[in-house]
């Protein structure tokens, strides 16, 4: 059994237990018997044209699951949605990844998929924003765009013969700086319309990659004709209002306000807590969790203490029962 590796005292244990039980009761009605484990047979009525999808196989005329997960049925298609599995890319997914190799005309990006993804030099907008053929010079200057270990944001373009291709044809994609990368199990992230979020209250950006990589960083103004200098300028603009309140040695090009940094950490810890508890990660839940932490004055480091976990679990159970009622 999966157990939280937390040191809880007795009351916390009971509270957590109760909250989790409540969650269970809330969801149990929805799809109680849909969970299967490996080699469980899936009951199907054998009407004609049954389509066996992912996570299924056939044995002795039965449809058998090959992974642990939830049985989903869409028309004639039966498949098992694996929970804890690696990311399965779909075209158009917005993902966050990390550059692991700079290769001729391409970058290799680790995106929590079973293979590394490829971002072609030709599939991304050049910093100068001009649409043109990529020259040899561009190729030589690839490292000035992304280097190894840079965290980038991109979109899944599709499968080609040599693997999964990404594209970054908008200014909102590209290199991410001054923030934290968090990895959560991909099943906790739902595909939505919007994956880029600007939490204005906290002055941070939140990119919830479909692959379970979540970026929490300082807010960046996105303009289509943005150039490197402008980015710097805007950062400086952001920094200016508080210039007097901070010490001179922290001033510099890459300066981020302490408050923003704290907010980044707070949001990051909120995500950590949520992912440890195995709760769905959406921008609403994240902001609520962050709000909860600030409202009860929990210090950032205490957010990873057991008490906060229990609080979040309780809060989540309340929240879900509310949405349920609606």
Partner 1 sequence: MEYVSPEGLRLDGRRPMEMRQIRAEIGVVAKAAGSALFEMGNTKVIAAVYGPREVQNRSQQLNDSALVRCEYTMANFSTGDRMRKPKGDRRSTEISLVIRQTMEACIMTHLMPRSQIDIFVQVLQADGGTRSACINAASLALADAGIPMRDLVTSCSAGYLNSTPLLDLNYIEDSAGGADVTLGILPKLDKVTLLQMDAKLSVETFENVMQLAIEGCKAVATYIREVLLENTKQLEYRRGI
Closest CB to partner 1 among residues 115, 169: 115
Least distance between partner 1 and beta carbon 15 (Å): 16
Q: At what angle do helices 306-325 and 258-277 cross, to 10 degrees?
A: 70
160 contributes a contact to partner 1 by CB under 8 A: no
What is the total count of residues that contact partner 1 (CB under 8 A)?
Answer: 44
User: Is residue 258 involved in binding partner 1 (CB under 8 A)?
Assistant: no
In 161-251 the beta strands, taken as DSSP E runs, fall at: 163-168, 174-176, 179-183, 196-199, 204-208, 213-218
> DSSP state, 114?
S
N- to C-terminal Cα distance for the chain? 33
143 or 324: whose CB is closer to partner 1? 324
Quick note: the x/- pattern for partner 1 over 45-64, rule CB under 8 A, is: ----------x-x-x----x
Minimum CB separation from partner 1 for residue 5, in Å?
Answer: 8
Q: What percent helix, strand, coil does the chain show, rounded to 5?
A: 35, 30, 40
Between 118 and 239, CB nearer to partner 1: 118
DSSP state of 145: H
Closest CA to 152 of 190, 115, 179, 128: 179
> Site map for partner 1, 273-312, x if CB under 8 A?
----xxxx--------------------------------
Report d(CA 118, CA 249) in Å as an integer.
40
By the rule CB under 8 A, 149 interacts with partner 1: no
191 belongs to the binding site for partner 1 (CB under 8 A)? no
Please enumerate in sequence order all residues whose Cβ is within 8 A of that of 227, keeping only pairs 6 or more positions apart, or say none.
Answer: 127, 128, 129
Positions in 85-114 near partner 1 (CB under 8 A): 85-86, 110, 114
How many CA within 13 A on the CB side of residue 114?
Answer: 3
Longest Cα pair distance anywhere in the chain, in angstroms? Answer: 75
Which backbone phi and psi does 49 adopt, to 5 degrees?
A: 75, 45
Whose Cβ is closer to partner 1: residue 202's or residue 308's? 308
* By the rule CB under 8 A, 6 interacts with partner 1: no
Q: At closest approach, how far in Å is the CB of 57 from partner 1? A: 7
By CB under 8 A, tell whether 44 contacts partner 1.
Answer: no
Tally Cβ neighbours within 10 Å of residue 59: 10
Write down the least CB distance from residue 122 to partner 1, Å.
22
Where do contacts with partner 1 occur on this chain (CB under 8 A)?
1-3, 5, 20, 23-24, 26-28, 30-31, 35-40, 55, 57, 59, 64, 66-70, 82-86, 110, 114-116, 187-188, 277-280, 316, 320
């Amino acid at each position: 059994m999966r157990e939280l590796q937390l040191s809880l005292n007795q009351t916390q244990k009971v509270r957590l237990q109760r909250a989790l039980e409540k969650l269970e009761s809330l969801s149990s009605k929805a799809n109680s018997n849909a969970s299967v484990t490996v080699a469980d047979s899936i009951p199907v009525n054998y009407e004609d044209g049954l389509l066996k999808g992912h996570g299924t196989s056939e044995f002795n005329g039965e449809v058998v699951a090959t992974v642990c997960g939830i049985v989903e049925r869409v028309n004639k298609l039966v498949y098992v949605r694996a929970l804890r599995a690696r990311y399965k890319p779909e075209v158009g997914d917005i993902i966050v990844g990390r550059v692991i190799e700079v290769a001729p005309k391409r970058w290799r990006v680790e995106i929590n998929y079973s293979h590394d993804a490829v971002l072609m030099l030709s599939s991304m907008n050049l910093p100068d924003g001009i649409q043109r053929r990529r020259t040899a010079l561009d190729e030589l200057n690839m490292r000035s765009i992304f280097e190894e270990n840079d965290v980038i944001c991109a979109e899944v373009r599709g499968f080609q013969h040599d693997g999964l291709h990404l594209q970054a044809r908008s200014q909102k994609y590209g290199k991410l700086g001054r923030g934290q990368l968090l990895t959560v199990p991909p099943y906790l992230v739902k595909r939505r319309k919007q994956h880029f979020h600007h939490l204005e209250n906290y002055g941070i950006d939140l990119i919830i990659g479909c692959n379970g990589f979540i970026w929490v960083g300082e807010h960046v103004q996105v303009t289509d004709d943005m150039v490197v200098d402008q980015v710097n300028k805007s950062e400086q603009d952001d920094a200016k209002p508080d210039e007097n309140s901070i010490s001179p040695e922290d001033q510099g090009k890459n300066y981020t306000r302490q408050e923003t940094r704290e907010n980044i950490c707070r949001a990051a810890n909120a995500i950590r807590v949520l992912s440890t508890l195995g709760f769905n990660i959406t921008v609403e839940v994240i902001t609520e969790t962050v709000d909860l932490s600030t409202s009860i004055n929990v210090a950032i480091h205490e957010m990873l203490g057991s008490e906060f976990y229990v609080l979040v679990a309780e809060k989540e159970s309340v929240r879900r029962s509310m949405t349920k009622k609606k």
